[in-house]
Amino acid sequence: MLGRVQVPASVKRGEPFEVRVIAQHPMETGFRRDLQGQAIPVNIVDKVWCMYGGRDVFRAELGTGIAANPYIAFYVVARESGPIEVAWSDDRGEQGRASALVNVA
């Protein structure tokens, strides 16, 4: 699954910064029908997690109330320069990953 992570170009040590994540995913609820009238099976991103500085800094469990191509934003405190990695998985076991470089001044 494709996705993207955005962080500010530079952040100050000890200050929170926003992490924005978007994942390309259809997020089917199981309530829609195709052109033949058949129910489209449930297929949702159900878990999102984020690692920064070798630590788990964010986790979320999503449900069917999230739109297609889910967008998630959260804050992390700047500790050190390095990658911030976000991963997600859907209820079928498929996974996606994206990362961005955090530059702490």
Residues 6+ apart with CB under 8 A from 54: none
d(C-alpha 17, C-alpha 96), whole Å: 23
pLDDT in tens, 12-64: 999 999 999 999 999 999 999 999 999 999 999 999 999 999 999 999 999 88
Determine if the pTM surpasses 0.85.
yes
Evaluated on CA atoms 10, 13, 15, 19, the torsion sign reads: positive
In this predicted structure, the answer to whether residue 82 has a pLDDT above a threshold of 90 is: yes
Extract the tokens encoding 9. 């170009």
DSSP, res 99? E
Burial class (CB in 10 A: 0-12, 13-18, 19+), 23: buried
Task: Encode pLDDT of 28-37 as tens digits.
Answer: 999 999 999 9
pLDDT at position 74: 98
Domains of the chain: 3-102 (2.60.40.10)
